[in-house]
Amino acid sequence: MLNLLRFRDHAVYPDGFDAEPCSGREAMQRYGAIAEALVGKAGGRPIWMGSVNDAFIAPDGEVWDDVVLVYYPSRKHFIDMVESSAYQAAKPHRTAALEDSRLIETTTLFGLGAE
């Protein structure tokens, strides 16, 4: 799964959600602290994460802060994880953190994980 992330300046939590005010990046760190264990439990692992410097080929105004690539053994492993109650409890942090995002499912053609 390829994640493109653009953070809010200030996290926006739903009314009634118990969370200290923070930046979008800090809210994503809260999400990541929970999600990392869930990814591992689902048989997945983070492969790579980086900060975006510039986009050479992109629509005008398209801006991303970070890119994350995460491996899952199958689509089912990913779906089972995101449907779990533990993931659903963490999801408000991700939603609060992000102004915009993309989650793109990929298949390995060559490189790490190719058969």
| Nearest to 96, CA basis, from 35, 2, 16, 22 | 22
Ramachandran angles phi, psi of 108, nearest 5°: -70, 125
CA-CA distances (angstroms) from residue 35 to 30, 78, 93? 9, 12, 10
Each residue's pLDDT tens digit, 14-61: 999 999 999 999 999 999 999 999 999 999 999 999 999 999 999 998
Structure tokens at 35: 């999600």
Contact 39, 49 (CB under 8 A): no
Q: Could you tell me which residue, 109 or 70, shows the higher pLDDT?
A: 70
The structural domains of the chain, with segments of one domain joined by +, span 2-104
Q: Any idea which architecture 2-104 has in CATH?
A: 2-Layer Sandwich (3.30)
Structure tokens at 103: 């989650």
Q: What percent of the chain stands above pLDDT 70?
A: 97
Residue 114 — pLDDT band, cuts 50, 70, 90?
Answer: low
5 vs 105: CA distance, rounded Å: 15
Residue 96 — pLDDT band, cuts 50, 70, 90?
Answer: very high
| 92 DSSP 8-state letter | H
Q: Could you tell me which residue, 110 or 84, shows the higher pLDDT?
A: 84
pLDDT, residue 111, reads 73
Residue 110 — pLDDT band, cuts 50, 70, 90?
Answer: confident
Secondary structure (DSSP) of 44-68: -EEEEEEE----SSS-TT---SEEE
